[in-house]
Amino acid sequence: MNDAKFRRLVLAALFAALCTVMTMVIQVPSPMQGYVNLGDCAVLLSAWVLGPWYGGAAAGLGSMLADLLSYPHYAPGTLVIKFTMAVAAAYLFEAMRKRSGKLAAQLMSGVAAEIIMVLGYFGYASLLLGKGLAAAASIPGNLVQGAFGIAAGIAVYAVLERSRAMQHA
């Protein structure tokens, strides 16, 4: 394994751990009752920094681990949903960044990823967990979670971009 692949693998493991910690530990009160976490911020950062496959693996595995430790019945869905979010966000970010600029690419890829999250969790809860249309009650909270994740992801990316570590990723 060459140095670049090894470095990317180590960064993916670090981002997976970041997804777990930011999902479980950092909680912010939400206007929709309850809390939102910074997990989607880490998912988007994984995508934007590592690209589709390493970022997708980090986002899916790290987020799934958080669910295994707190809401295990959501773990399989979270693995697929967060992986898909990161892959979509990474491809859109790369495709749009040169044409539209970095901020527009982050916003559009973030919105697309969060739509995947909202629809993914609705589908998972309604069909696979058997909640039916009652799963729609989670949509407003997931929309707030998504907006929070996009805003935090863009802010943290701007800080990371200025660091030396990011220049070598």
Q: Where are the domains of the chain?
A: 3-167
Give the angle subtended at the CA of 10 by the CAs of 94 and 93, to the nearest 5°.
10
Residues 153, 34: Cα–Cα separation, whole Å: 21
Tell me if 126 sits within 8 A of 135, measured CB to CB: yes
Alpha-carbon 138 to chain mean position = 18
Q: What is the pLDDT of residue 109?
A: 98
pLDDT digits (tens, 9 = 90+) for 140-169: 989 999 999 999 999 999 998 888 666 555
Q: What is the pLDDT of residue 26?
A: 80
Topology classification of domain 3-167 = Arp2/3 complex 21 kDa subunit ARPC3 (1.10.1760)
Report the pLDDT averaged over residues 56-73. 95
> In terms of pLDDT, which residue wins out, 57 or 138?
57
Q: What is the pLDDT of residue 29?
A: 73
Give the angle subtended at the CA of 57 by the CAs of 56 and 59, to the nearest 5°.
65
| Cβ count within 10 A of residue 17 | 15
> In terms of pLDDT, which residue wins out, 98 or 30?
98
